[in-house]
């Protein structure tokens, strides 16, 4: 697979490490339902056949965490965006 890194350009997937679903948000630990919310956040995953947003870390490149959109059926990658803008808060 080749991932279009916004900083480095298109690179072989060997340079990256995979984390998983990028649509999840870390729950509020102070919320009343935090325990259930964290359970879902850590363990429950959709398994879509098609477009999927996922985290990839450019370990052997710019060290950015990228939000990559990949079709799970074809491995076609339609985009990759940094988790945060260069040096700026999101």
Partner 1 sequence: MSATNRNRLSAGGLIDRNQTRGFSFDGTRHRGYAGDTLASALLANGVRLVGRSFKYHRPRGIFSAGAEEPNALVELRTGARREPNTRATVTELYDGLEATSQNRWPSLALDALSLNRFLAPFLGAGFYYKTFMWPAAFWEKVYEPIIRRAAGLGRAALEEDPDHYEKATAFCDVLVIGAGPAGLMAALTAARSGARVILADEDFLPGGGLNAEAGDVDRQPAPAFAAGIAAELASLPNVRVMTRTSVFGVYDGGTYGALERVSDHLAVPAPFQPRQRLWRIVARRAVLAAGATERPIVFGGNDRPGVMLAGAVGTYVQRHAVLPGRNIALFANNDGAWRDMLAAQAAGAHVETIVDVRAEVAPELIAAAQAKGIRVLKGAQVIATHGRTLRSLEVATASGTERIAADTLAVSGGWSPCVHLTCHHGGKPAWNEDIAAFVPGTCPPGLSVAGAAKGILGLGACLRDGAETGAESARALGFTVPAHEVPEVADAAFALTPFWHVEGSKGAAFVDLQNDVTAKDVGIAHKEGFRSVELLKRYTTLGMATDQGRTSNVTGLAIMASLTGASIPETGTTIFRPPYTPVSMGALAGHHRGKDFRPVRLTPTHEWARAQGAVFIETGAWLRAQYFPRAGEKDWLETVTREVTAVRASVGLIDVSTFGKIDLQGRDVGAFLDRVYINGFAALAVGKARYGVMLREDGLVMDDGTTARLSPEHYVMTTTTANAAKVFQHLEFCLQVLWPELDVALSSISEQWAQIAIAGPRARDVLARVADGDVSNAALPFMGAVEGTVMDGVKARLFRLSFSGELGFEIAVPARHGAALAQALMQAGETFGITPYGIEALGVMRIEKGHVSGSELSGQTTAGDLGFGRMASTKKDYIGRTMAARPGLADPDRPAFVGFRPVDLSRRLRAGAHFLNRGAAPETANDQGYMTSVAYSPHLGHWIGLGLITRGPERLGERVRAYDPVRGEEIEVEICAPGFIDPEGVRLRG
Partner 2 sequence: MADHSSHDPLAGLRFDRVPPSGTYGADGEPGVTVTIPETPFIALVVARNGFAESVTGRLGRAFGLEVADRTGAAIGAAATVVGTGPGRFLVLSKTEPDLAGTLRALLGSEAAVSEQDDAYVTFDLAGEKTPDLLAKGALIDIDPRVFLPGDAATTVIAHIGVTLWRVDEATWRLLVARSLEASFTRFLIASGAAFGLRLENGTAGRG
| H or E element in which residue 19 lies | strand 17-21
Q: Cβ(84)–Cβ(63) under 8 Å?
A: no
β-sheet bridge partners, residue 53: 69
- When CB distances are held under 5 to 8 angstroms depending on the partner's kind, the choice from partner 2, partner 1, none that residue 78 binds is none
DSSP character for 26?
Answer: P
If one asks whether residue 33 binds partner 1 (CB under 8 A), the answer comes out as no
CB of 2 to partner 2, least distance (A): 9
Residue 81 touches which of partner 2, partner 1, none (Cβ within 5-8 Å per kind): none
Q: Tell whether residue 51 is a contact of partner 1 (CB under 8 A).
A: no
Site size toward partner 2 (CB under 8 A) is: 18
Q: SS3 for 69?
A: strand
Q: Which is nearer to partner 1, 48 or 73 (CB)?
A: 73
Round to whole Å and give the CA distance between 21 and 64.
Answer: 16
Given partner 1, partner 2, none, residue 32, with its beta carbon under 5 to 8 Å by kind, binds none
């Amino acid at each position: 697979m080749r991932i279009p890194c916004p900083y480095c350009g298109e690179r072989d997937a060997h340079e990256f490490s995979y984390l998983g679903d990028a649509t999840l948000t870390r729950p509020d630990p102070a919320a009343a339902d935090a325990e259930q919310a964290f359970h879902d956040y850590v363990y429950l995953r959709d398994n879509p056949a098609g477009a999927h947003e996922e985290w990839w870390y450019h370990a052997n490149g710019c060290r950015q965490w990228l939000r990559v959109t990949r079709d799970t059926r074809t491995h076609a990658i339609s985009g990759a965006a940094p988790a945060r803008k260069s040096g700026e808060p999101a």
